[in-house]
Structure 1
């Protein structure tokens, strides 16, 4: 990501914070390069188990040129897909958690690479989010492919 792209991404992300300057400062000074930001204003986050998240992202990137931002946590056990506000409240799906209003998300600085929570797809600053209907379609396709693979006893 270019410095200009990272700056636009930072501005877009911190725009949801009660004190955007404090969040920018937190990123600049935090050795971990993370900050807490509230979900539910410009975006919600749907959190999938990693074993479903990565195959879902593979399908999703075949459906659209650029999905919205995607986070992965420590050890890739979970992935968070940024979706429009209000999605988390309406989402019904086993094994998928929603983060919306009243939830705070650990967000890494888009301008640098740190361990732990990281961007799989960084925000571009334009507000691009993943369409929930396409995400659901991609999840179903990924789960079906995984089920067929497991039923066939195939490996990797």
Structure 2
């Protein structure tokens, strides 16, 4: 990711914070390169087990020009898909956790070396999010592939 691209991504992400300027300053100085940002304002995050998330992302990459931001956490054991705000309140699916209004998520600084939480698809600053309907279909296709023993 270029420095300009990372800058746009950071601008977009910190816009979710109660005080974007203070958030950005703390984030830039944080030796771990992570920030705790509120979900539910600019985006929600749907979190699935990494064994389902990775193949679902592969499906999304086949059908979309560019999916919205996607995080991997805890050694890739979880995958978080950024979706429009309000999605978690309407999501009906087993094995999917949601971070929406009232939730906070750990977000790595775009363009820095990854740690325990890393970007699989970094934000580009444009506000692109994954359509929940398309994500649901990708999760179903990924689950069916896993059930057939495909990887």
- TM-score (ref. length: structure 1): 0.94
Give the whole-Å Cα distance in 2 for the aligned partners of 1:98 and 1:109. 21
- Computing the radius of gyration from Cα coordinates, the structure with the larger value is 1
Per-residue deviation at 1:107?
Answer: 0.6
CA RMSD of aligned residues (A): 1.0
**8 Å contact from structure 1 (residues 46, 81) kept in 2:** yes
Partner of 2:14: 14
Counterpart residue number, 2:83: 83
* 1:32–1:114 contact (8 Å) kept in structure 2: no
Partner of 1:58 in structure 2? 58
Aligned to 2:30: 30
Q: Runs of 4 or more off by more than 6 Å in structure 1?
A: none
SS at match of 2:68: coil
Aligned residues: 151
Deviates more, 1:24-33 or 1:49-58: 24-33
Q: Report the secondary structure of 1:112's partner residue.
A: coil
- Give the whole-Å Cα distance in 2 for the aligned partners of 1:6 and 1:58: 23
Q: 5+ residue gaps in structure 1?
A: none
